[in-house]
Amino acid sequence: MSTHPIGHVVSEDGTRRSLEAEPGQSLMTVLREHDLPLAAICGGCLSCATCHVYVDAAWVDRLLPPESGEIELLACDPTYRPGASRLSCQIQIVDEIDGLVVTVAPQA
């Protein structure tokens, strides 16, 4: 099974890292496996918003659009940025996102 590169992940402190991900994983799982500071309290059940990331503008339209429940949850987060904010547990690792660039949102 080949892995997919995630181009850059930017941490809260500005550190940039390139990661490798297995197909079918959620982005949240990949970020946690690489010790990025995500609480991801609900484990991907779409009920906590503690897996919040900002997707680089060049990538926003290349991802599947968020479900309404994802936007509702994100909109309650004071660090929500319309158009850029996503829940990393809702982003699946597929061929089309090789090179994805995201920034970990500040943890509330």
The least distance separating ligand FES from the CB of residue 13, rounded to whole angstroms, comes to 21
Helix (H, G, I), strand (E, B) or coil at 20: strand
> Does residue 46 bind ligand FES (CB under 6 A)?
yes
68 Cβ partners below 8 Å, 6+ apart? none
Which is it for the CA torsion 80, 85, 90, 93, positive or negative? negative
As a three-state string, the secondary structure of 54-108 is EECCCCHHHCCCCCHHHHHHHHCCCCCCCCCEEEHHHCECCHHHCCCEEEECCCC
**Tokens at 93, concatenated:** 């690792």
The least distance separating ligand FES from the CB of residue 2, rounded to whole angstroms, comes to 26
> Does residue 48 bind ligand FES (CB under 6 A)?
yes
Nearer to ligand FES, 14 or 76 (CB): 76
> Does residue 51 bind ligand FES (CB under 6 A)?
yes
The least distance separating ligand FES from the CB of residue 108, rounded to whole angstroms, comes to 12
> Does residue 71 bind ligand FES (CB under 6 A)?
no
The least distance separating ligand FES from the CB of residue 73, rounded to whole angstroms, comes to 6
> Does residue 104 bind ligand FES (CB under 6 A)?
no
Question: What CA–CA distance (Å, rounded) separates 73 from 83?
Answer: 14
State the residues that interact with ligand FES by CB under 6 A.
28, 40-51, 87, 89
